[in-house]
Amino acid sequence: MTRTVFSALLSHWWRNPLQLFTLLAGLALATALWSGVQAINAEAAASYDAAAATLGEGSYDQLTRSDGQPMDQATYVALRRAGWLVSPVVEGRLDGVRIVGLDPLTAPGGLGPVEVTEGADIGQFLSGQGQVFGRADALAALPDGPAQVDSPDVAPGTVITDIGVAQRLLDRPGQIDRLIVAPVQPVTQAPLDTIAPDLTRQVAQSGSDVGRLTDSFHLNLTAFGLLSFAVGIFIVNGAIGLAFEQRRPVVRTLRALGVPLRRLMVLMAAELAVLALVAGAVGVALGYVVASLLLPDVAATLQGLYGATVSGELQLRPSWWLSGLGVALGGTAMAAAAAFWRLAHLPLLAGAAPRALTMAAGRSARVQGALAAVLLVAAGVLALTAGSLTAGFALLATLLIGAALALPLILDRVLALAERLSTGVRARWFWADTRQQLPGLSLALAALLLAMAANVGVSTMVSSFRLTFTGFLDQRLASELYVTAEDAAQADALQTWLAPRVRAVLPIQSAPAEVAGLPTEVFGARDDATYRDNWALLSSSPDAWDAVAGGTAILINEQLSRRSGLAVGDVVPLVGRDFTIVGVYGDYGNPIGQVFMTEDAFLTLYPDVTPLQFGLRLPSAGVPALQQALADDVGLPPTAVIDQAGIKQFSLDVFNRTFTVTTALNILTLTVAGFAILMSLLTLAALRVPQLAPAWAMGLTRRELGLLELIRAVLLAVLTAAVALPLGLALAWALLAIVNVAAFGWRLPMFLFPLDYLRLGGFALVAAALAALWPAWRLARTPPADLLKVFSNER
Partner 1 sequence: MLLTVTDLRKTYATADGPFDVLRGVDLTLDAGETLALTGESGSGKSTLLHLIGGLDAPDGGRIVLDGTDLATLDDTGRAAVRRGTVGVVFQQFNLIPSLKIADNIAFQARLAGRYDAAWCQTLADRMGLVSQLNKYPEQLSGGQQQRVAIARTLAPRPKLVLADEPTGNLDEATAANVLALMLELVADTGAGLLMVTHSDRLAGQMQHRLHLALGQIAGPVA
Contact residues: partner 1, CB under 8 A? 1, 4-5, 7-8, 11-12, 14-16, 249-250, 252-262, 348-349, 352-353, 793-794
Q: How far is the CB of 257 from partner 1 (least distance, A)?
A: 5
Axis-axis angle for helices 215-256, 425-476 (nearest 10): 160
Q: How far is the CB of 221 from partner 1 (least distance, A)?
A: 42
Q: How far is the CB of 1 from partner 1 (least distance, A)?
A: 5
Q: How far is the CB of 10 from partner 1 (least distance, A)?
A: 9
Q: What does DSSP assign to residue 621?
A: G
Based on the number of CB atoms within 10 Å of its own CB, is 732 exposed (0-12), middle (13-18) or buried (19 or more)?
A: buried
Torsion of CA 187, 189, 193, 198, to 10 degrees: -120
Q: How far is the CB of 15 from partner 1 (least distance, A)?
A: 4
Phi, psi of 478 (to 5 degrees): -75, -30
Q: How far apart are CA 359 and CA 344, in angstroms?
A: 19
Q: How far is the CB of 794 from partner 1 (least distance, A)?
A: 5
Q: Which amino acid, one-letter code, is at 151?
A: S
Picking from 615, 641, 644, the residue whose alpha carbon sits closest to that of residue 630 is 641
Of the two residues 703 and 795, which places its CB atom closer to partner 1 in the complex? 795
Of the two residues 96 and 347, which places its CB atom closer to partner 1 in the complex? 347
Axis-axis angle for helices 644-697, 425-476 (nearest 10): 170
Q: What secondary structure, in 3-state letters, does 480-526 show?
A: CEEEECCCHHHHHHHHHHHCCCCCEEEEEEEEEEEECCEEEEEEEEC
Of the two residues 14 and 424, which places its CB atom closer to partner 1 in the complex? 14
- In DSSP notation, 208-235 reads -HHHHHTHHHHHHHHHHHHHHHHHHHHH
Of the two residues 1 and 370, which places its CB atom closer to partner 1 in the complex? 1
C-beta separation of 353 from 434 below 8 A: no
Of the two residues 537 and 686, which places its CB atom closer to partner 1 in the complex? 686
Q: How far is the CB of 342 from partner 1 (least distance, A)?
A: 17
C-beta separation of 591 from 208 below 8 A: no
Any idea what the Cα angle at residue 228 is, between residues 449 and 654, rounded to 5°? Answer: 105
Q: Specify the 3-state DSSP secondary structure of 344.
A: helix
Of the two residues 191 and 347, which places its CB atom closer to partner 1 in the complex? 347
Of the two residues 344 and 571, which places its CB atom closer to partner 1 in the complex? 344
C-beta separation of 94 from 104 below 8 A: no
Of the two residues 68 and 249, which places its CB atom closer to partner 1 in the complex? 249
Q: How far is the CB of 119 from partner 1 (least distance, A)?
A: 58
Rg value, the chain, Cα? 33
Q: How far is the CB of 6 from partner 1 (least distance, A)?
A: 11
Of the two residues 353 and 384, which places its CB atom closer to partner 1 in the complex? 353
Of the two residues 264 and 544, which places its CB atom closer to partner 1 in the complex? 264
User: Could you tell me the CA-to-CA distances from 383 to 379, 401, 663, 739 in Å, in that order?
Assistant: 6, 15, 27, 11
Q: How far apart are CA 451 and CA 764, in angstroms?
A: 9
- How many residues are there in the chain? 795
Of the two residues 8 and 473, which places its CB atom closer to partner 1 in the complex? 8
Of the two residues 362 and 576, which places its CB atom closer to partner 1 in the complex? 362
C-beta separation of 757 from 456 below 8 A: yes
Q: How far apart are CA 143 and CA 95, in angstroms?
A: 8
Q: How far is the CB of 243 from partner 1 (least distance, A)?
A: 12
Q: How far is the CB of 352 from partner 1 (least distance, A)?
A: 5
Q: How far is the CB of 428 from partner 1 (least distance, A)?
A: 30
Q: How far is the CB of 678 from partner 1 (least distance, A)?
A: 23
3-state helix, strand, coil in the chain (%, to 5): 65, 15, 25
Q: How far is the CB of 407 from partner 1 (least distance, A)?
A: 32
Phi, psi of 568 (to 5 degrees): -55, 130
Picking from 327, 346, 362, the residue whose alpha carbon sits closest to that of residue 236 is 327
Axis-axis angle for helices 261-306, 644-697 (nearest 10): 150
Of the two residues 366 and 759, which places its CB atom closer to partner 1 in the complex? 366
Axis-axis angle for helices 644-697, 17-55 (nearest 10): 160
Of the two residues 352 and 718, which places its CB atom closer to partner 1 in the complex? 352
Of the two residues 71 and 254, which places its CB atom closer to partner 1 in the complex? 254
User: Could you tell me the CA-to-CA distances from 585 to 470, 520, 555, 570, 580 in Å, in that order?
Assistant: 16, 15, 7, 15, 15
Q: How far apart are CA 175 and CA 74, in angstroms?
A: 10
Q: How far is the CB of 264 from partner 1 (least distance, A)?
A: 9
Q: How far apart are CA 629 and CA 634, in angstroms?
A: 7
What residues have CB less than 8 Å from 95, skipping those under 6 apart? 141, 142, 143
Of the two residues 257 and 274, which places its CB atom closer to partner 1 in the complex? 257
Q: How far is the CB of 263 from partner 1 (least distance, A)?
A: 8
User: Could you tell me the CA-to-CA distances from 35 to 40, 229, 313, 423 in Å, in that order?
Assistant: 9, 9, 16, 51
